[in-house]
Every structure is written in structure tokens, then in C-alpha cells.
């Protein structure tokens, strides 16, 4: 079940606003993870099936079995520096053959930074405000080596911006706390690059 993604509008610079939460902008591949009846399907931003490419994401750490759709960013995080490496991710994406993919999985494991939940057990959550979807996300999914619920700060992006610069990340994305999930570009989400 592919749901066209919500995309941020471009912003001018860091801003503070109590109506927004702020997340790191991770340089990676936008993915939707759909799980139905225990079967995982991974879809790119444009709806292409990439399930075979990323076997480490096939075991989803749900608190209880459920049918879900998550939205997030896939990235390679260097184990020593903690910085993302887009070239490693591109290498993983281009691999062909199950053996090569499995070898790369063990040598270059990827991490899925989940920032939204769009569907849960028959309920389309896109019609709920972001703060309710975040609450549901944190209630449904646990973190592990391959899955990380996206951290966020509420109201101010300044401190997050300095941390993002230190880690060499792309920037910060501000999201209206009350935003509904609507396909396409929206002023409810604002991307501010470092």
C-alpha cells in the first residue's frame, strides 16, 4: 500500500515557533515501510519496490503484531563517527544478487529513521494531526540497531541546528505540530539546510 509522501517546502533559515517540532534532516533515501500480515514491503519515495535491497528492515520491532505503514529516511551511519554516508547507501541500493546484498548487510548495515506512521490496523492516520501520529508511532514501534524513531525538539530549532552541523547532517525540518499528512509539497513542513 503506497501513500504518496508529504514533502517539505524550502525555508530561509532557522526559526523558532511553538507550533512546530524540529527534526534532523538526514541525508538518505526516503522510504515507506508497509507491513501487512507480518509481510514487509519497502517502497521508495516514488513507489518503487526496494524490499529485496534492504533485508535488515524485514524484522520490524513492533510492540505488538500489527498492520502498519511507516514513513522515514534510510541512511548508513558510520559506526565510529556517527555521521551518515550517502555513498555507502547508494552502493547498497545498486547491489544485485542476494548473496552480495546479504554480505553488504552484515558489513554496511543501514538504519531506518522513522518519523511518521500513516496507517495502523485498518485506520488511515493521515487525517490525524502530527502530534497524535507521533504519539502512536512511539507507542507502536521500538528502537533497535536498524530502526530508530526520529528524535525531535519542540518550539526551537537553534540548538538542534548546531548539533546537526556537528554531525554533518543536511539540516533541520520544521513540522507543524497540528499538520495533517497531505501528499506533495506543503508549507506545514519546512526544510532548512545547514
- pLDDT for 181 equals 98
> Is pLDDT above 80 for 161?
no
The answer as to whether 175 is a domain residue is yes
> Is pLDDT above 90 for 158?
no
- pLDDT for 184 equals 96
Q: Which of 68, 74, 98, 88 is nearest to 147 (CA)?
A: 74
What are the backbone angles phi and psi of residue 165, rounded to the nearest 5°?
Answer: -60, -45
The answer as to whether 17 is a domain residue is yes
Please tell me the chain's helix, strand, coil percentages from 3-state DSSP, rounded to the nearest 5. 25, 40, 35
- pLDDT for 163 equals 81
Return the percentage of the chain with pLDDT > 70, whole number.
Answer: 100
The beta strands (E) that lie in the chain are given as: 6-10, 16-25, 29-36, 39-44, 68-75, 111-120, 123-124, 147-149, 153-156, 171-176, 184-193
168: its cell numbers: 554533518
Q: Which of 112, 135, 132 is nearest to 180 (CA)?
A: 132
* Domain ranges, residue 91: 6-193
CATH number for the domain that contains residue 17? 3.30.470.30
The answer as to whether 135 is a domain residue is yes
Domains held by the chain: number: 1
Mind listing the pLDDT tens digit for each residue in 106-124? 999 999 999 999 999 999 9
pTM metric for this prediction: 0.94
Average pLDDT, the chain: 94
The answer as to whether 1 is a domain residue is no
> Is pLDDT above 90 for 15?
no
CA distance 142 to 139: 8
- pLDDT for 98 equals 93
- pLDDT for 38 equals 95
Mind listing the pLDDT tens digit for each residue in 34-90? 999 999 999 999 999 999 999 999 999 999 999 999 999 999 999 888 889 999 999
In sequence order, the 6+-apart residues with CB closer than 8 A to the CB of 107 are none
Amino acid at each position: 500500500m503506497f501513500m504518496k509522501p508529504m514533502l517539505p517546502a524550502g525555508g530561509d533559515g532557522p526559526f523558532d515557533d511553538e507550533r512546530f517540532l524540529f527534526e534532523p534532516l538526514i541525508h538518505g533515501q526516503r522510504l515507506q515501510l508497509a507491513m501487512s500480515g507480518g509481510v514487509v514491503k519497502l517502497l521508495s519515495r516514488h513507489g518503487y519496490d526496494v524490499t529485496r535491497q534492504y533485508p535488515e528492515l524485514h524484522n520490524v520491532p513492533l510492540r505488538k503484531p500489527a498492520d502498519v505503514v511507516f514513513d522515514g529516511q534510510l541512511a548508513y551511519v558510520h559506526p565510529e563517527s556517527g555521521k551518515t554516508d550517502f555513498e555507502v547507501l547508494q552502493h547498497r541500493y545498486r547491489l544485485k544478487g542476494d548473496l552480495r546484498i546479504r554480505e553488504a548487510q552484515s558489513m554496511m548495515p543501514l538504519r531506518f529513521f522513522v518519523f511518521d506512521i500513516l496507517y495502523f490496523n485498518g485506520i488511515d492516520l493521515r487525517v490525524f494531526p502530527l502530534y497524535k501520529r507521533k504519539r502512536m508511532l512511539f507507542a507502536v514501534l521500538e528502537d533497535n540497531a536498524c530502526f530508530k524513531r526520529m528524535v525531535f525538539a519542540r518550539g526551537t530549532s537553534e540548538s538542534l541546528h548546531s548539533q546537526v552541523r556537528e554531525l554533518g547532517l543536511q539540516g533541520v525540518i520544521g513540522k507543524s505540530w497540528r499538520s495533517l499528512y497531505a501528499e506533495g509539497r506543503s508549507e506545514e513542513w519546512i526544510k532548512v539546510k545547514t
